[in-house]
Amino acid sequence: MTTKPLERICYVEDDEDIQRIVRMSLERVGKMKVEIVGDPMVAIDAIVSFKPDLVMLDWMMPGMDGPTLFRKLKETPETKDLPVVFMTAKASATEMEELRSLGALGAISKPFSPKDLPEQLRALWNTLP
């Protein structure tokens, strides 16, 4: 269990409304620092420069979907060790199992509760070795 508190989150999400809600939730409720990336194509650069503790990925996005971006993160040396949590409305159990085997930390299903989201993330964070 890691002793470092979860402070910096980068969230890749194309829906602007959800971006705002997640930001408010994590900043106001969770007191975390949040970087939102709207375009998955530039996500890797943004993540590298922001240096988050944890990355949250939307599942379905135009241009590049979450699982593809996740694989790219795993291929990039600077980001390959970052814990990744999926925000998803439709991941099947088998898909999720596959991503877990590739190193995804977990998934939070949409719709999520903004009140509980920081707690959920911290719970996942605490499962890290």
Q: Which residue ranges make up the site for other proteins (CB under 8 A)?
A: 15, 17-18, 21-22, 24-25, 28-29, 60, 89-90, 93, 110-115
Please report how close the Cβ of residue 75 comes to other proteins at its closest, in angstroms: 27
Task: Name the DSSP letter for residue 128.
Answer: -
Measured from the CB atom, the residue of 66 and 79 that comes closer to other proteins is 66
Cα–Cα distances (Å) from 84 to 46, 87, in that order, read 15, 10
Measured from the CB atom, the residue of 28 and 80 that comes closer to other proteins is 28
Nearest to 34 by CA among 15, 16, 17, 47: 47
Please report how close the Cβ of residue 68 comes to other proteins at its closest, in angstroms: 17
Please report how close the Cβ of residue 114 comes to other proteins at its closest, in angstroms: 5
Measured from the CB atom, the residue of 75 and 98 that comes closer to other proteins is 98
What letter represents residue 46's amino acid?
Answer: A
Residue ranges in 35-112 assigned as alpha helix (H): 43-50, 66-75, 93-102
Measured from the CB atom, the residue of 53 and 58 that comes closer to other proteins is 58
- End-to-end, the C-alpha distance of the chain in Å comes to 5
Please report how close the Cβ of residue 127 comes to other proteins at its closest, in angstroms: 14
Nearest to 105 by CA among 79, 78, 123: 123
